[in-house]
């Protein structure tokens, strides 16, 4: 589609992530400096296209000082799919399709193309809008680092730094009190944070969705450490790690939702090790705070490249990092495929050689 561009919109969808403001800043600066375009910030995901009063113009002053800030100045939401938007009317939840309304409001605001920043779910919506005729460029965002089309996503390194620092701190209290300490980190589908932070933080056990584990193997590691004189153990578990169906006694283990995997696992470990087990769920702590330099750089590069893709009329594409170069891939190829940890990877081999076990 050939589009005459004089103004673009930018929005952030899904969970917040360190580096989002770097992308927004990159978009605004590149659009104004290189193309003399106007830029509109669409607030709270796609809500600003459903309700145009939640859209505001951005300029150099709007993005001044936001580079080191966490979160997103535009706000975000992980609910509110315009193709199936839930509203409460007369006490009942109704679902409406606001996609055409978004397109009409976009045109009414004078926005010629959209840069949509988000994770898997948001990018799927972006692709659906593209198929409806919206000129769209996507920017991948997730601290989980599980999007297949890009080598790394901004926010991942900051989340790693937060998780590794927490594991370092957990070590001192674990050793002092001779405890088993469980640290649950994000990673619903893939175990990248658990793997990297576990190695970087010197964990004894790492549990990830890609490698099935048993309670027996974890207990064996704890017993082995005790025989070697270590009276404590640190276990890092991804929130999406698959708990075994049964414990060593053959009793069913309850299914656990993300955020409760650590507590469910701790119950079994207490029973079969007779040790004190404590759980720390890092949760949204991993999403917050100032982005590290890598994420500021990558976010800035993604934002600038997204603007250039609009300038080149490469709609329906997503920016990505490949071989340390910012490139683009079609959204059709980018969504729906997760990047998982390969159990045969160098990282896994390194961890095993360091004495870390995965419970398999």
Name the DSSP class of 286: G
How far is the CA of 118 from the CAs of 20, 83, 209, 233, 238, in angstroms? 9, 16, 23, 37, 21
Instruction: Confirm if 159 and 187 have CB atoms less than 8 A apart.
Output: no
Contacts of 349 (CB under 8 A, 6+ apart): none
Contacts of 156 (CB under 8 A, 6+ apart): 142, 143, 144, 145, 192, 193, 295
Assess contact for 200 and 160: CB atoms under 8 A.
yes
Output the six-digit token pair for 37. 């375009």
Please give the structure tokens belonging to residue 252. 């069913």
Task: Say whether 165 is catalytic.
Answer: no
Of the residues 112, 144, 146, 295, only one is catalytic, namely 144
Dist. CA 212–CA 163, nearest whole Å: 22
Task: Tell me the backbone φ, ψ of residue 100, rounded to 5 degrees.
Answer: -65, -35
Catalytic residues: 144
């Amino acid at each position: 589609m050939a589009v005459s561009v004089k103004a673009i919109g930018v929005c952030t969808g899904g969970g917040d992530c360190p580096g989002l403001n770097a992308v927004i800043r990159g978009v605004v600066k590149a659009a104004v400096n290189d193309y003399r375009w106007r830029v509109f910030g669409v607030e709270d995901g796609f809500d600003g296209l459903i309700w145009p009063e939640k859209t505001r113009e951005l300029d150099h002053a709007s993005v001044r000082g936001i580079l080191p800030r966490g979160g997103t100045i535009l706000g975000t939401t992980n609910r509110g799919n315009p193709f199936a938007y839930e509203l409460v009317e007369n006490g009942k939840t109704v679902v409406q399709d606001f996609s055409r309304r978004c397109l009409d409001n976009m045109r009414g605001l004078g926005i010629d193309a959209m840069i949509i920043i988000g994770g898997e779910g948001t990018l799927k919506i972006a692709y659906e809008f593209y198929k409806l005729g919206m000129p769209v460029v996507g920017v991948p965002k997730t601290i989980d680092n599980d999007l297949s089309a890009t080598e790394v996503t901004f926010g991942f390194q900051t989340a790693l730094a937060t998780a590794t620092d927490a594991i370092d701190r957990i070590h001192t209290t674990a050793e002092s009190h001779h405890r088993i300490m469980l640290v649950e980190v994000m990673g619903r589908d893939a175990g990248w944070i658990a793997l990297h932070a576990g190695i970087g933080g010197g964990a004894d056990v790492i549990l990830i969705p890609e490698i099935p584990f048993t309670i027996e193997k974890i207990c064996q590691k704890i017993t082995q450490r005790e025989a070697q004189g270590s009276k404590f153990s640190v276990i890092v578990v991804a929130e999406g790690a698959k708990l075994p169906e049964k414990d060593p006694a053959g009793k069913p283990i309850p299914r656990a939702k993300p955020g409760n995997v650590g507590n469910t696992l701790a119950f079994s470990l207490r029973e079969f090790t007779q040790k004190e087990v404590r759980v720390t769920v890092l949760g949204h702590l991993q999403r917050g705070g100032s982005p590290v330099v890598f994420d500021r750089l990558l976010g800035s590069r993604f934002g600038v490249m997204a603007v250039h893709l609009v300038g080149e009329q490469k709609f329906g594409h997503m920016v990505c990092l490949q071989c340390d170069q910012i490139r683009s891939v079609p959204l059709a190829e980018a969504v729906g495929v997760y990047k998982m940890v390969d159990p045969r990877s160098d990282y896994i081999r390194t961890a095993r050689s360091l004495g870390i076990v995965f419970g398999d």
